[in-house]
Amino acid sequence: MTIWCDKETAVQIVESGNHVFVQGACATPTPLLEALVARGEELHNVELTHLHTYGPTHYTDEHWRGHYSLRALFVGENVREAVNAGRASYVPVFLSDIPMLFAKDGALSIDVAFVHVSPPDEHGYCSLGSSVDAARAAVDNAEHIIALINPHMPRTHGDSFLHISQIDCAVHWDGPLYEIESRKPNETQLQIGRNVAGLIDDGATLQLGIGAIPDAVLRALSDRRDLGVHTEMFSDLRRHT
């Protein structure tokens, strides 16, 4: 049974010793994280796991050592200092291997999943929206699911849906998603992009990450034809054509 409540009530599900998955990228559920950190004095040994997130990561502050820890599956800018300082750990892992870790008998089984989803449709299905990646495996295996329900979250298709009945605590949230501004590549990065583009022929299939160098590669591919894309993330092509 789904309980509709505020974020402070929702995070009461989390108990000391729990392993909490946090959906990432532009779907990072920052309000739930803030509410969880506010409970810090009463919780101990809560481990959070996520890939690339945006926004504040106060749970990695030295003050919360022994209360919260982070096992990062991707070291983004907002957690790099904590990993380098030893306040967070990093697990080098292929994205395709993460579902195995999240299985109920896996090394990183999930007690609680924090997700950020679209409102339910007429059949009760919410979409994981802009960041499905490992969140699919997390919600399939978590003992409890806490969700921000946000009308700004787009409905993405494919294997991205979960029924509202799967959600233990649902929090109405009407706020913008994180947006990432493209940074203009400098001359060195542009030259690297041109060098890489010289290896790419018409009809090639692309896998690209995010950042100035992948953007520079795309800028140098405007004269290619019949390119395919098979990738977990991609820059905005409109900025490069």
User: Catalytic residue positions?
Assistant: 232
**153: CB partners within 8 A, 6+ apart:** 27, 116, 117, 118, 127, 129, 130, 177
Dihedral sign for Cα 58, 60, 64, 69, please. Answer: positive
d(CA 76, CA 16): 26
**42: CB partners within 8 A, 6+ apart:** none
Cα angle 212, 214, 217 (rounded to 5 degrees) comes to: 110
84, 106 contact by CB (below 8 A): no
Scanning the structure block, which residue is given the tokens 């919260």? 68
Scanning the structure block, which residue is given the tokens 């490992």? 134
